[in-house]
A and B are shown apart, each in its own frame.
Chain A
Amino acid sequence: MTAFSTLLYKELLRFWKVAFQTVLAPVITAMLYLLIFSHVLEERVQVYPGISYTTFLVPGLIMMSMLQNAFANSSSSLIQSKITGNIVFVLVAPLSYLEFFSAYMLASVIRGLVVGIGVGLVTVWFTELPLLHPVWLIFFTALSTGILAALGIVAGMWAEKFDQLAAFQNFLIMPLTFLSGVFYSIHSLPDFWQAASHWNPVFYMIDGFRWGFFGLSDIPPATSLLVVAVCFVAISGFTLLLLKRGYKLRH
Protein backbone atom coordinates (compact mmCIF):
# COMPACT_ATOMS: atom_id res chain seq x y z
CA MET A 1 0.00 0.00 0.00
CA THR A 2 2.87 2.36 0.79
CA ALA A 3 4.32 1.89 -2.69
CA PHE A 4 1.01 2.73 -4.35
CA SER A 5 0.30 5.71 -2.12
CA THR A 6 3.81 7.06 -2.64
CA LEU A 7 3.43 6.90 -6.41
CA LEU A 8 0.02 8.54 -6.14
CA TYR A 9 1.44 11.24 -3.88
CA LYS A 10 4.31 11.85 -6.32
CA GLU A 11 1.90 12.13 -9.23
CA LEU A 12 -0.29 14.58 -7.31
CA LEU A 13 2.71 16.63 -6.25
CA ARG A 14 3.93 16.71 -9.81
CA PHE A 15 0.91 18.62 -11.08
CA TRP A 16 0.25 20.53 -7.89
CA LYS A 17 3.75 22.04 -7.91
CA VAL A 18 2.93 23.60 -11.27
CA ALA A 19 -0.75 24.27 -10.55
CA PHE A 20 -0.44 27.52 -12.43
CA GLN A 21 -0.23 25.60 -15.72
CA THR A 22 -2.09 22.47 -14.75
CA VAL A 23 -5.10 23.94 -12.94
CA LEU A 24 -5.32 27.69 -13.36
CA ALA A 25 -4.64 27.73 -17.10
CA PRO A 26 -7.43 25.30 -18.03
CA VAL A 27 -9.86 27.13 -15.75
CA ILE A 28 -9.09 30.38 -17.54
CA THR A 29 -9.46 28.70 -20.94
CA ALA A 30 -12.89 27.41 -19.97
CA MET A 31 -13.85 30.85 -18.75
CA LEU A 32 -12.86 32.36 -22.09
CA TYR A 33 -15.00 29.84 -23.95
CA LEU A 34 -17.88 30.70 -21.70
CA LEU A 35 -17.43 34.45 -22.11
CA ILE A 36 -17.26 34.29 -25.88
CA PHE A 37 -19.82 31.62 -26.69
CA SER A 38 -22.40 32.81 -24.24
CA HIS A 39 -21.97 36.37 -25.43
CA VAL A 40 -22.42 35.42 -29.07
CA LEU A 41 -25.06 32.71 -28.74
CA GLU A 42 -27.06 33.54 -25.64
CA GLU A 43 -29.88 35.28 -27.53
CA ARG A 44 -29.83 32.98 -30.56
CA VAL A 45 -29.73 29.44 -29.29
CA GLN A 46 -31.95 27.64 -26.91
CA VAL A 47 -31.39 23.91 -26.70
CA TYR A 48 -33.78 22.92 -23.98
CA PRO A 49 -36.88 24.94 -23.14
CA GLY A 50 -36.44 27.11 -20.08
CA ILE A 51 -32.68 26.75 -20.00
CA SER A 52 -30.53 29.59 -21.26
CA TYR A 53 -27.67 28.82 -23.61
CA THR A 54 -25.06 29.82 -21.01
CA THR A 55 -26.57 27.46 -18.48
CA PHE A 56 -26.69 24.73 -21.12
CA LEU A 57 -23.03 25.28 -21.96
CA VAL A 58 -21.57 25.14 -18.44
CA PRO A 59 -21.85 21.37 -17.70
CA GLY A 60 -20.33 20.51 -21.07
CA LEU A 61 -17.47 22.90 -20.49
CA ILE A 62 -16.81 21.48 -17.03
CA MET A 63 -16.80 17.94 -18.39
CA MET A 64 -14.61 18.84 -21.35
CA SER A 65 -12.05 20.52 -19.08
CA MET A 66 -12.02 17.52 -16.76
CA LEU A 67 -11.53 15.10 -19.63
CA GLN A 68 -8.76 17.04 -21.30
CA ASN A 69 -6.87 17.45 -18.04
CA ALA A 70 -7.27 13.87 -16.95
CA PHE A 71 -5.74 12.86 -20.28
CA ALA A 72 -3.03 15.49 -20.12
CA ASN A 73 -1.97 14.44 -16.64
CA SER A 74 -1.18 10.79 -17.15
CA SER A 75 0.10 11.18 -20.69
CA SER A 76 2.46 14.08 -20.02
CA SER A 77 3.73 12.60 -16.78
CA LEU A 78 4.58 9.32 -18.47
CA ILE A 79 6.22 10.78 -21.52
CA GLN A 80 8.27 13.18 -19.43
CA SER A 81 9.45 10.33 -17.23
CA LYS A 82 10.26 8.25 -20.29
CA ILE A 83 12.15 10.99 -22.08
CA THR A 84 14.10 12.16 -19.04
CA GLY A 85 14.66 8.52 -18.08
CA ASN A 86 13.48 8.84 -14.48
CA ILE A 87 10.77 6.26 -15.18
CA VAL A 88 13.44 3.75 -14.10
CA PHE A 89 12.96 4.83 -10.48
CA VAL A 90 9.45 3.42 -10.62
CA LEU A 91 10.29 0.48 -12.87
CA VAL A 92 12.98 -0.90 -10.54
CA ALA A 93 10.62 -0.72 -7.57
CA PRO A 94 8.56 -3.73 -6.49
CA LEU A 95 5.32 -2.20 -7.78
CA SER A 96 2.79 -4.35 -9.61
CA TYR A 97 1.33 -3.13 -12.87
CA LEU A 98 -2.00 -2.81 -11.11
CA GLU A 99 -0.55 -0.41 -8.54
CA PHE A 100 1.18 1.51 -11.30
CA PHE A 101 -2.09 1.79 -13.22
CA SER A 102 -4.17 2.79 -10.20
CA ALA A 103 -1.75 5.49 -9.06
CA TYR A 104 -1.50 7.13 -12.48
CA MET A 105 -5.22 6.86 -13.04
CA LEU A 106 -6.27 8.19 -9.67
CA ALA A 107 -3.89 11.14 -9.85
CA SER A 108 -5.29 12.04 -13.28
CA VAL A 109 -8.87 11.70 -12.10
CA ILE A 110 -8.07 14.01 -9.20
CA ARG A 111 -6.45 16.54 -11.51
CA GLY A 112 -9.56 16.43 -13.70
CA LEU A 113 -11.73 16.88 -10.64
CA VAL A 114 -9.73 19.83 -9.32
CA VAL A 115 -9.96 21.55 -12.70
CA GLY A 116 -13.66 20.70 -12.95
CA ILE A 117 -14.36 22.20 -9.55
CA GLY A 118 -12.30 25.25 -10.52
CA VAL A 119 -14.33 25.74 -13.70
CA GLY A 120 -17.55 25.14 -11.77
CA LEU A 121 -16.66 27.80 -9.21
CA VAL A 122 -15.81 30.38 -11.85
CA THR A 123 -19.07 29.83 -13.74
CA VAL A 124 -21.06 30.79 -10.67
CA TRP A 125 -20.55 34.38 -11.82
CA PHE A 126 -22.17 33.69 -15.16
CA THR A 127 -25.16 31.55 -14.39
CA GLU A 128 -26.99 29.66 -11.72
CA LEU A 129 -26.92 25.94 -12.28
CA PRO A 130 -29.57 23.56 -10.98
CA LEU A 131 -28.17 20.38 -9.43
CA LEU A 132 -30.77 17.66 -9.69
CA HIS A 133 -28.88 14.36 -9.54
CA PRO A 134 -25.53 14.81 -7.74
CA VAL A 135 -24.88 11.08 -7.31
CA TRP A 136 -25.11 10.57 -11.06
CA LEU A 137 -22.69 13.41 -11.52
CA ILE A 138 -20.17 11.62 -9.34
CA PHE A 139 -20.48 8.42 -11.38
CA PHE A 140 -20.21 10.19 -14.71
CA THR A 141 -17.23 12.20 -13.49
CA ALA A 142 -15.33 9.27 -12.06
CA LEU A 143 -15.86 6.95 -15.04
CA SER A 144 -15.32 9.59 -17.71
CA THR A 145 -12.12 11.04 -16.27
CA GLY A 146 -11.02 7.47 -15.63
CA ILE A 147 -11.40 6.64 -19.32
CA LEU A 148 -9.35 9.64 -20.38
CA ALA A 149 -6.75 8.94 -17.71
CA ALA A 150 -6.36 5.40 -19.05
CA LEU A 151 -6.14 6.73 -22.61
CA GLY A 152 -3.45 9.08 -21.35
CA ILE A 153 -1.50 6.15 -19.93
CA VAL A 154 -1.74 4.33 -23.26
CA ALA A 155 -0.68 7.45 -25.17
CA GLY A 156 2.19 8.08 -22.75
CA MET A 157 3.42 4.52 -23.13
CA TRP A 158 3.08 4.53 -26.90
CA ALA A 159 4.59 7.93 -27.68
CA GLU A 160 8.35 8.22 -27.88
CA LYS A 161 8.45 11.93 -28.55
CA PHE A 162 6.38 14.91 -27.51
CA ASP A 163 5.08 15.49 -31.03
CA GLN A 164 3.67 11.96 -31.17
CA LEU A 165 1.78 12.71 -28.01
CA ALA A 166 0.61 16.01 -29.48
CA ALA A 167 -0.66 14.11 -32.52
CA PHE A 168 -2.62 11.75 -30.27
CA GLN A 169 -4.09 14.78 -28.54
CA ASN A 170 -4.87 16.77 -31.70
CA PHE A 171 -6.20 13.95 -33.85
CA LEU A 172 -8.08 11.92 -31.27
CA ILE A 173 -8.78 13.66 -27.99
CA MET A 174 -9.59 17.14 -29.32
CA PRO A 175 -12.02 16.02 -32.06
CA LEU A 176 -13.73 13.59 -29.70
CA THR A 177 -14.26 16.23 -27.05
CA PHE A 178 -15.25 19.03 -29.41
CA LEU A 179 -17.59 16.88 -31.51
CA SER A 180 -19.50 15.62 -28.55
CA GLY A 181 -22.16 18.23 -28.07
CA VAL A 182 -20.40 20.48 -25.60
CA PHE A 183 -21.44 23.58 -27.49
CA TYR A 184 -24.68 22.33 -29.05
CA SER A 185 -27.30 19.62 -28.90
CA ILE A 186 -26.63 16.94 -31.49
CA HIS A 187 -30.25 17.31 -32.61
CA SER A 188 -29.19 20.49 -34.33
CA LEU A 189 -26.74 18.51 -36.48
CA PRO A 190 -27.37 16.98 -39.94
CA ASP A 191 -28.42 13.32 -39.82
CA PHE A 192 -25.01 11.95 -40.71
CA TRP A 193 -23.24 13.78 -37.90
CA GLN A 194 -25.99 12.92 -35.49
CA ALA A 195 -25.46 9.26 -36.24
CA ALA A 196 -21.71 9.69 -36.07
CA SER A 197 -21.98 11.31 -32.65
CA HIS A 198 -23.52 8.14 -31.29
CA TRP A 199 -20.19 6.40 -31.89
CA ASN A 200 -18.37 8.98 -29.81
CA PRO A 201 -18.15 7.90 -26.16
CA VAL A 202 -17.50 11.47 -25.08
CA PHE A 203 -20.97 12.37 -26.30
CA TYR A 204 -22.47 10.05 -23.65
CA MET A 205 -20.20 11.48 -20.96
CA ILE A 206 -21.34 15.03 -21.70
CA ASP A 207 -24.98 14.15 -22.18
CA GLY A 208 -25.18 12.16 -18.96
CA PHE A 209 -23.26 14.76 -17.03
CA ARG A 210 -25.64 17.46 -18.21
CA TRP A 211 -28.59 15.31 -17.15
CA GLY A 212 -27.12 15.26 -13.64
CA PHE A 213 -27.61 19.03 -13.53
CA PHE A 214 -30.86 19.66 -15.44
CA GLY A 215 -32.55 16.30 -15.63
CA LEU A 216 -32.70 16.83 -19.42
CA SER A 217 -30.74 14.87 -21.99
CA ASP A 218 -30.70 13.55 -25.57
CA ILE A 219 -30.20 9.97 -24.41
CA PRO A 220 -31.67 8.22 -21.35
CA PRO A 221 -29.02 8.69 -18.64
CA ALA A 222 -28.94 5.01 -17.70
CA THR A 223 -27.99 4.20 -21.30
CA SER A 224 -25.26 6.82 -21.21
CA LEU A 225 -23.93 5.52 -17.93
CA LEU A 226 -23.87 1.98 -19.30
CA VAL A 227 -21.96 3.07 -22.42
CA VAL A 228 -19.46 5.01 -20.29
CA ALA A 229 -19.03 2.13 -17.85
CA VAL A 230 -18.43 -0.37 -20.64
CA CYS A 231 -15.88 1.96 -22.20
CA PHE A 232 -14.17 2.35 -18.83
CA VAL A 233 -13.88 -1.38 -18.32
CA ALA A 234 -12.66 -1.95 -21.87
CA ILE A 235 -9.99 0.75 -21.92
CA SER A 236 -8.85 -0.14 -18.41
CA GLY A 237 -8.51 -3.78 -19.35
CA PHE A 238 -6.58 -2.86 -22.46
CA THR A 239 -4.27 -0.53 -20.52
CA LEU A 240 -3.64 -3.14 -17.85
CA LEU A 241 -2.75 -5.66 -20.53
CA LEU A 242 -0.20 -3.29 -22.05
CA LEU A 243 1.23 -2.47 -18.62
CA LYS A 244 1.50 -6.11 -17.73
CA ARG A 245 3.54 -6.74 -20.84
CA GLY A 246 5.59 -3.63 -20.15
CA TYR A 247 4.70 -2.27 -23.58
CA LYS A 248 7.41 0.26 -24.53
CA LEU A 249 8.35 0.61 -20.87
CA ARG A 250 10.38 -2.53 -20.31
CA HIS A 251 12.21 -3.30 -23.52
Chain B
Amino acid sequence: MSAAIRVQGLVKQFRQVRALNDIDLEIKQGEFFGLLGPNGAGKTTLISILAGLTHATHGKAEIMGFDVARDYRRSRRALGMVPQELVYDPFFTARETLRLQSGYFGIRKNDDWIDHILDHLGLTEHADKNMRTLSGGMKRRVLVAQALVHKPPVIVLDEPTAGVDVDLRQTLWEFIRSLNREGHTVVLTTHYLEEAETLCERIAMLKQGRVVALDSTRNLLSRRHEHQACLTLDGMPPAELGLKTGAGGTWVYVFQEYAQLEPMLAAIRKAGLTVQEMQLAEPDLEDVFTEIIRNS
Protein backbone atom coordinates (compact mmCIF):
# COMPACT_ATOMS: atom_id res chain seq x y z
CA MET B 1 0.00 0.00 0.00
CA SER B 2 1.41 3.38 -0.98
CA ALA B 3 1.80 6.09 1.62
CA ALA B 4 -0.87 8.78 1.71
CA ILE B 5 1.87 11.38 1.53
CA ARG B 6 5.53 10.78 0.83
CA VAL B 7 8.04 13.58 0.70
CA GLN B 8 11.72 13.04 -0.04
CA GLY B 9 14.55 15.54 0.15
CA LEU B 10 12.16 18.40 -0.39
CA VAL B 11 13.77 21.83 -0.71
CA LYS B 12 12.07 25.11 -1.49
CA GLN B 13 14.08 28.24 -2.04
CA PHE B 14 12.29 31.59 -2.38
CA ARG B 15 14.91 34.13 -3.45
CA GLN B 16 16.72 34.64 -0.13
CA VAL B 17 14.52 32.45 2.04
CA ARG B 18 15.00 28.70 2.25
CA ALA B 19 11.44 27.83 3.26
CA LEU B 20 11.98 24.06 3.20
CA ASN B 21 15.35 22.52 3.88
CA ASP B 22 15.55 18.85 2.98
CA ILE B 23 12.26 17.52 4.32
CA ASP B 24 11.60 13.77 4.48
CA LEU B 25 8.20 12.71 5.63
CA GLU B 26 5.92 9.76 5.22
CA ILE B 27 2.30 9.76 6.31
CA LYS B 28 0.46 6.46 6.20
CA GLN B 29 -3.03 5.99 4.85
CA GLY B 30 -5.69 6.50 7.48
CA GLU B 31 -3.48 8.53 9.82
CA PHE B 32 -4.58 11.67 11.61
CA PHE B 33 -1.40 13.67 11.38
CA GLY B 34 -0.40 17.02 12.85
CA LEU B 35 2.03 19.42 11.23
CA LEU B 36 3.15 21.92 13.83
CA GLY B 37 5.66 24.73 13.92
CA PRO B 38 6.06 28.41 14.65
CA ASN B 39 5.14 31.10 12.12
CA GLY B 40 7.28 30.88 9.04
CA ALA B 41 8.40 27.30 9.74
CA GLY B 42 7.36 26.19 6.26
CA LYS B 43 4.08 24.38 6.90
CA THR B 44 2.09 26.24 4.27
CA THR B 45 4.94 25.95 1.77
CA LEU B 46 5.00 22.19 2.24
CA ILE B 47 1.24 21.97 1.80
CA SER B 48 1.39 24.19 -1.29
CA ILE B 49 3.88 21.84 -2.90
CA LEU B 50 1.62 18.88 -2.15
CA ALA B 51 -1.31 20.71 -3.75
CA GLY B 52 0.72 21.76 -6.79
CA LEU B 53 0.44 25.47 -5.97
CA THR B 54 4.18 25.76 -5.59
CA HIS B 55 6.98 23.98 -7.43
CA ALA B 56 9.65 22.36 -5.30
CA THR B 57 13.24 23.47 -5.89
CA HIS B 58 14.55 19.94 -5.25
CA GLY B 59 13.16 16.65 -4.08
CA LYS B 60 9.89 14.96 -4.70
CA ALA B 61 6.44 14.68 -3.24
CA GLU B 62 3.74 12.06 -3.78
CA ILE B 63 0.10 11.81 -2.83
CA MET B 64 -1.20 8.21 -2.72
CA GLY B 65 1.81 7.23 -4.79
CA PHE B 66 1.22 9.86 -7.48
CA ASP B 67 3.99 12.34 -8.10
CA VAL B 68 2.64 15.88 -7.66
CA ALA B 69 4.53 17.15 -10.69
CA ARG B 70 4.51 14.28 -13.17
CA ASP B 71 1.19 12.72 -12.28
CA TYR B 72 -0.53 15.91 -11.21
CA ARG B 73 -4.02 14.97 -12.35
CA ARG B 74 -4.18 11.90 -10.16
CA SER B 75 -2.31 13.45 -7.25
CA ARG B 76 -4.69 16.42 -7.23
CA ARG B 77 -7.74 14.16 -7.39
CA ALA B 78 -6.42 12.37 -4.32
CA LEU B 79 -5.98 15.55 -2.31
CA GLY B 80 -8.40 17.99 -0.71
CA MET B 81 -6.69 21.11 0.60
CA VAL B 82 -8.11 23.81 2.84
CA PRO B 83 -5.95 26.89 2.31
CA GLN B 84 -4.79 29.01 5.22
CA GLU B 85 -5.93 32.27 3.62
CA LEU B 86 -9.62 33.05 3.71
CA VAL B 87 -10.27 33.15 -0.02
CA TYR B 88 -13.57 33.10 -1.88
CA ASP B 89 -15.10 34.18 -5.16
CA PRO B 90 -17.47 37.10 -4.53
CA PHE B 91 -19.43 36.34 -7.70
CA PHE B 92 -21.02 33.21 -6.32
CA THR B 93 -23.09 31.71 -3.50
CA ALA B 94 -21.78 28.95 -1.27
CA ARG B 95 -23.68 26.30 -3.21
CA GLU B 96 -22.55 27.64 -6.59
CA THR B 97 -18.99 27.63 -5.29
CA LEU B 98 -19.27 23.96 -4.34
CA ARG B 99 -20.89 23.02 -7.65
CA LEU B 100 -18.15 24.75 -9.59
CA GLN B 101 -15.47 23.07 -7.50
CA SER B 102 -17.09 19.69 -8.18
CA GLY B 103 -17.04 20.51 -11.87
CA TYR B 104 -13.34 21.38 -11.79
CA PHE B 105 -12.79 17.87 -10.47
CA GLY B 106 -14.86 16.41 -13.27
CA ILE B 107 -17.93 15.64 -11.19
CA ARG B 108 -21.17 16.66 -12.84
CA LYS B 109 -23.98 15.74 -10.47
CA ASN B 110 -22.80 16.13 -6.92
CA ASP B 111 -25.79 17.68 -5.18
CA ASP B 112 -26.39 14.85 -2.71
CA TRP B 113 -22.83 14.94 -1.44
CA ILE B 114 -22.82 18.75 -1.45
CA ASP B 115 -25.96 18.76 0.68
CA HIS B 116 -24.35 16.27 3.01
CA ILE B 117 -21.25 18.41 3.51
CA LEU B 118 -23.27 21.59 3.87
CA ASP B 119 -25.35 19.90 6.52
CA HIS B 120 -22.39 18.58 8.48
CA LEU B 121 -20.67 21.94 8.46
CA GLY B 122 -23.78 23.81 9.56
CA LEU B 123 -24.01 25.66 6.27
CA THR B 124 -27.39 24.56 4.99
CA GLU B 125 -29.17 27.79 5.81
CA HIS B 126 -26.35 29.86 4.32
CA ALA B 127 -26.00 27.82 1.16
CA ASP B 128 -27.72 30.27 -1.13
CA LYS B 129 -26.22 33.46 0.24
CA ASN B 130 -23.54 35.24 -1.72
CA MET B 131 -20.05 34.45 -0.43
CA ARG B 132 -19.39 38.13 0.15
CA THR B 133 -22.18 38.33 2.70
CA LEU B 134 -21.02 35.38 4.82
CA SER B 135 -19.11 35.94 8.06
CA GLY B 136 -15.46 34.97 8.29
CA GLY B 137 -16.17 31.71 10.07
CA MET B 138 -18.82 30.81 7.52
CA LYS B 139 -16.40 31.49 4.69
CA ARG B 140 -13.92 29.21 6.41
CA ARG B 141 -16.56 26.46 6.51
CA VAL B 142 -17.17 26.84 2.79
CA LEU B 143 -13.42 26.45 2.22
CA VAL B 144 -13.50 23.20 4.16
CA ALA B 145 -16.52 22.07 2.17
CA GLN B 146 -14.76 22.93 -1.08
CA ALA B 147 -11.84 20.69 -0.20
CA LEU B 148 -14.22 17.77 0.27
CA VAL B 149 -16.38 17.96 -2.86
CA HIS B 150 -14.45 15.22 -4.63
CA LYS B 151 -14.23 12.93 -1.60
CA PRO B 152 -10.43 12.97 -1.58
CA PRO B 153 -8.65 10.13 0.23
CA VAL B 154 -6.19 12.65 1.66
CA ILE B 155 -7.39 15.83 3.35
CA VAL B 156 -4.96 18.59 4.32
CA LEU B 157 -6.21 21.45 6.45
CA ASP B 158 -4.00 24.51 6.89
CA GLU B 159 -5.22 26.14 10.10
CA PRO B 160 -8.88 25.37 9.53
CA THR B 161 -9.96 26.62 12.93
CA ALA B 162 -8.36 30.06 12.82
CA GLY B 163 -11.14 32.54 13.53
CA VAL B 164 -13.76 29.88 14.00
CA ASP B 165 -16.12 29.77 17.00
CA VAL B 166 -16.20 26.97 19.56
CA ASP B 167 -19.36 25.54 18.12
CA LEU B 168 -17.93 25.05 14.65
CA ARG B 169 -14.68 23.68 15.99
CA GLN B 170 -16.68 20.94 17.63
CA THR B 171 -18.78 20.21 14.55
CA LEU B 172 -15.82 20.53 12.22
CA TRP B 173 -13.68 18.11 14.20
CA GLU B 174 -16.53 15.70 14.62
CA PHE B 175 -17.02 15.68 10.86
CA ILE B 176 -13.31 15.41 10.06
CA ARG B 177 -12.97 12.63 12.61
CA SER B 178 -15.81 10.70 11.04
CA LEU B 179 -14.11 11.07 7.66
CA ASN B 180 -10.90 9.81 9.25
CA ARG B 181 -12.75 6.80 10.68
CA GLU B 182 -14.05 6.04 7.21
CA GLY B 183 -10.45 5.82 6.06
CA HIS B 184 -9.53 9.32 4.90
CA THR B 185 -6.06 10.45 5.81
CA VAL B 186 -6.10 13.80 7.59
CA VAL B 187 -3.21 16.23 7.92
CA LEU B 188 -3.72 19.31 9.96
CA THR B 189 -1.75 22.39 10.91
CA THR B 190 -2.83 24.48 13.83
CA HIS B 191 -1.43 26.81 16.43
CA TYR B 192 -3.97 25.49 18.97
CA LEU B 193 -1.83 22.75 20.40
CA GLU B 194 -4.52 21.19 22.57
CA GLU B 195 -6.40 20.60 19.32
CA ALA B 196 -3.46 18.72 17.85
CA GLU B 197 -2.97 16.85 21.11
CA THR B 198 -6.49 15.47 21.21
CA LEU B 199 -6.86 14.80 17.48
CA CYS B 200 -3.55 13.72 16.02
CA GLU B 201 -1.99 10.29 16.36
CA ARG B 202 1.33 11.48 15.05
CA ILE B 203 2.99 14.85 14.88
CA ALA B 204 5.81 16.44 12.96
CA MET B 205 7.30 19.66 14.22
CA LEU B 206 8.90 22.02 11.72
CA LYS B 207 11.32 24.80 12.44
CA GLN B 208 13.00 26.91 9.80
CA GLY B 209 12.18 24.44 7.09
CA ARG B 210 13.43 21.34 8.92
CA VAL B 211 11.64 18.54 10.70
CA VAL B 212 12.84 18.83 14.29
CA ALA B 213 10.56 16.20 15.80
CA LEU B 214 8.52 13.37 14.36
CA ASP B 215 6.80 10.95 16.67
CA SER B 216 3.50 9.69 17.97
CA THR B 217 1.67 12.18 20.11
CA ARG B 218 1.93 9.83 23.07
CA ASN B 219 5.70 9.51 22.78
CA LEU B 220 6.09 13.23 22.42
CA LEU B 221 4.05 13.85 25.52
CA SER B 222 6.00 11.33 27.55
CA ARG B 223 9.23 13.13 26.73
CA ARG B 224 8.48 15.40 29.60
CA HIS B 225 8.27 13.58 32.87
CA GLU B 226 7.32 16.45 35.10
CA HIS B 227 3.98 16.52 36.85
CA GLN B 228 2.75 19.36 38.95
CA ALA B 229 0.52 19.43 42.00
CA CYS B 230 -1.04 22.72 42.86
CA LEU B 231 -1.97 22.86 46.56
CA THR B 232 -4.05 25.19 48.70
CA LEU B 233 -2.89 24.95 52.34
CA ASP B 234 -4.12 26.47 55.58
CA GLY B 235 -0.67 27.83 56.51
CA MET B 236 2.96 28.33 55.47
CA PRO B 237 4.67 25.06 54.50
CA PRO B 238 8.21 24.58 55.87
CA ALA B 239 10.85 25.79 53.44
CA GLU B 240 12.65 22.41 53.30
CA LEU B 241 9.68 20.88 51.46
CA GLY B 242 10.75 22.90 48.42
CA LEU B 243 7.28 24.11 47.40
CA LYS B 244 7.16 27.01 45.02
CA THR B 245 4.55 29.72 45.23
CA GLY B 246 1.88 29.49 42.59
CA ALA B 247 -0.97 31.68 41.47
CA GLY B 248 -3.63 32.81 43.95
CA GLY B 249 -1.75 31.92 47.15
CA THR B 250 -1.29 28.30 46.12
CA TRP B 251 1.81 26.13 46.41
CA VAL B 252 3.25 24.16 43.54
CA TYR B 253 5.02 20.85 43.88
CA VAL B 254 6.92 19.56 40.85
CA PHE B 255 7.64 15.83 40.72
CA GLN B 256 8.69 13.10 38.31
CA GLU B 257 7.02 9.99 39.70
CA TYR B 258 3.64 9.67 41.35
CA ALA B 259 5.38 7.72 44.11
CA GLN B 260 6.86 11.02 45.26
CA LEU B 261 3.46 12.53 45.92
CA GLU B 262 2.41 10.55 48.98
CA PRO B 263 5.59 11.29 51.04
CA MET B 264 5.12 14.99 50.31
CA LEU B 265 1.52 14.93 51.49
CA ALA B 266 2.66 13.08 54.61
CA ALA B 267 5.27 15.75 55.26
CA ILE B 268 2.65 18.45 54.96
CA ARG B 269 0.43 16.60 57.44
CA LYS B 270 3.38 16.22 59.77
CA ALA B 271 3.96 19.95 59.68
CA GLY B 272 0.42 20.34 61.05
CA LEU B 273 -1.11 21.62 57.83
CA THR B 274 -4.09 20.35 55.89
CA VAL B 275 -4.59 20.29 52.17
CA GLN B 276 -7.75 22.25 51.37
CA GLU B 277 -7.58 21.84 47.62
CA MET B 278 -5.32 20.05 45.17
CA GLN B 279 -5.05 20.09 41.37
CA LEU B 280 -2.78 17.93 39.29
CA ALA B 281 -1.40 19.22 36.01
CA GLU B 282 0.03 16.94 33.34
CA PRO B 283 2.59 18.14 30.86
CA ASP B 284 0.82 19.05 27.65
CA LEU B 285 1.85 19.38 24.05
CA GLU B 286 2.45 23.06 24.51
CA ASP B 287 5.24 22.36 27.02
CA VAL B 288 6.77 19.75 24.76
CA PHE B 289 6.45 21.98 21.72
CA THR B 290 8.03 24.95 23.46
CA GLU B 291 10.92 22.84 24.65
CA ILE B 292 11.57 21.18 21.30
CA ILE B 293 11.37 24.40 19.35
CA ARG B 294 13.60 26.21 21.83
CA ASN B 295 16.24 23.49 21.91
CA SER B 296 16.48 22.73 18.22
Contact = CB atoms under 8 A, between A and B. Distances in A.
Interface of A: 2-3, 5-7, 9-10, 13-14, 17, 81, 84-86, 88-96, 246, 250-251
A92 B106 contact: no
A3 B89 contact: no
15 contacts: A2-B106, A2-B107, A6-B103, A13-B92, A84-B87, A84-B89, A84-B90, A89-B89, A89-B100, A89-B104, A89-B146, A96-B73, A246-B55, A250-B53, A251-B54
B100 A92 contact: no
B101 interface: yes
A95 B150 CA distance: 14
Nearest to B107: A2
- 3 tightest Cβ-Cβ pairs between the two chains A and B: A6-B103, A93-B104, A85-B87
Contacts of A88: 51, 53, 83, 87
Contacts of B251: none
Interface stretch (B74-82, B112-120, B179-187): B74-82
A243 B86 CA distance: 25
A88 B104 CA distance: 12
B258 interface: no
Given A96-B73, A251-B53, 6 more contacts: A3-B106, A89-B146, A94-B74, A94-B104, A250-B54, A250-B55
B282 interface: no
Given A91-B52, A94-B73, A94-B77, A3 B87 contact: no
Contacts of B108: 2
Contacts of B104: 3, 6-7, 89-90, 93-95
Contacts of A85: 83, 85, 87
A9 B103 contact: yes
Nearest to A2: B106
Contacts of A14: 91
A93 B81 CA distance: 10
Contacts of B48: 251
A10 B106 contact: no
Contacts of A250: 52-55
B173 interface: no
B289 interface: no
B100 A94 contact: no
A92 B103 contact: no
B47 to A, nearest CB: 11
Given A85-B85, A86-B89, A91 B53 contact: yes
Contacts of B107: 2
Contacts of A86: 87-89
B71 to A, nearest CB: 10
Given A86-B88, A89-B146, A93-B76, A5 B103 contact: yes
B192 interface: no
Nearest to A85: B87
A11 to B, nearest CB: 10
Nearest to B81: A92
Contact of A94 (B14, B54, B81, B105): B105
Nearest to B86: A85
Contacts of A93: 76, 101, 104-105
A3 B103 contact: yes
B107 to A, nearest CB: 7
Interface in B251-266: none
A7 B55 CA distance: 23
Contacts of A91: 51-53
B46 to A, nearest CB: 13
Listed residue (A5, A88, A93, A246) with the most chain B CB atoms within 10 angstroms of its CB: A93
A3 B54 contact: no
B84 to A, nearest CB: 10
Contacts of B76: 92-94
Contacts of A9: 100, 103
Interface string B14-46: 100000000000000000000000000000000
Contacts of B85: 85
B275 to A, nearest CB: 56
Nearest to A91: B53
Contacts of B53: 88, 91-92, 250-251
A7 B105 CA distance: 10
Nearest to B108: A2
A17 B106 contact: no
A251 to B, nearest CB: 5
Interface in B105-149: 105-108, 146
Nearest to A5: B103
Contacts of A92: 51-53, 76, 79, 81
A250 B72 CA distance: 13
A13 B55 CA distance: 31
